[in-house]
Structure 1
Amino acid sequence: MPLLQFETTVELSADEKRTFADAVRDLYGEIMQTGTSHAAVVVRPRSPGELSIGRGVPDEDYLFLDAEIRRGRSSETKRELALALMDLAAEEFEIPTPNMKVVFTEHEGANMMGYDRVGAEWDPSEGSE
């Protein structure tokens, strides 16, 4: 039951945010080997100057991702997802790669809840939902 929270200086319409969220969910499901009906995506617009990173390209857009996920995936799998999502943002929005950052926070499955469910620990055999 991931919560993928993007902060970006890219100006996006509601339709562009929905399209991006759909692409994020698809990549998440594919790389993390799970279904996507439970994947929550947030895209928060930020004004220029609200986001920065020391090595960033000045006067260009930024995108940061706080990825709250169930524990259990390997570092290699998380890296694959981070790179895929940054590649998506670079291609779609022309964000320079030095201006992006991904941070994973892992939780026990039971600490991730929806109204109708409590998450379980991730098991590679679960496949897609």
Structure 2
Amino acid sequence: MPSIQIDLPLTTTAATKQALAQRVGAIYGEIMQIGRDLLTVSVHDLGEGGVWRRHDAGPPTPSALIMCDIRRGRPPETRAHLAQSLIDVCVEMFELEACWVKVEFTQHAGDEMYHPHLGGFNADWNADERPATASST
């Protein structure tokens, strides 16, 4: 953790998934102010009919879902900026309708994420963090 899972209502190539992970990593590192070596991105291309959103009028609509598991402590404005930026990249890359891309956050304490390359558990997030490396996702 942090991790971002993206469920898409389409099928795409490994190269496109890698490009999406690269862009998501850059966005996350900039907005959340961390080194991208902590971020895991999973892209689930579930195919046509794989993700739906129910609404009041008419049948369910093909949709996308982005799940963000992050360390708690970021202000709502930072999370909103991240959410909109992730929506924007999905709209751009996959021609999705922005109103049907949903972002959900689950916030955790640092000791709920274990990173072997850190030698164990992560630390709680604090506002003084800055990216440690420029490595990519």
TM normalised by structure 2 equals: 0.86
- Whether 2:109 is the aligned partner of 1:120: answer no
Q: Give the distance between the partners of 1:36 and 1:107, measured in 2 at CA.
A: 18
Partner of 1:67: 68
Q: For the aligned residues, what is the CA RMSD?
A: 2.0
Q: Deviation of residue 49 (structure 1)?
A: 2.3
> Residue by residue, what CA displacement relative to the aligned partner does 1:7-48 show, whole Å, maximum 9, x if unpaired?
111221001000100100100000011110110000011132
Question: Which one is further off, 112-121 or 95-104?
Answer: 112-121
Partner of 1:4: 4
Q: Give the distance between the partners of 2:110 and 2:58, measured in 1 at CA.
A: 37
Q: Give the distance between the partners of 1:10 and 1:47, measured in 2 at CA.
A: 4
Change (3 A) 1:57 1:43: farther
Q: Give the distance between the partners of 1:76 and 1:108, measured in 2 at CA.
A: 19
Change (3 A) 1:93 1:57: farther
Change (3 A) 1:60 1:54: closer
User: Structure 2: any 5+ residue segments left out of the alignment?
Assistant: 133-137
User: Structure 1: any 5+ residue segments left out of the alignment?
Assistant: none
Q: Give the distance between the partners of 2:107 and 2:84, measured in 1 at CA.
A: 18
Partner of 1:25: 25
Partner of 1:105: 106
Give every structure 1 segment of 4 or more consecutive aligned residues whose post-TM-superposition deviation is greater than 3 Å.
55-61
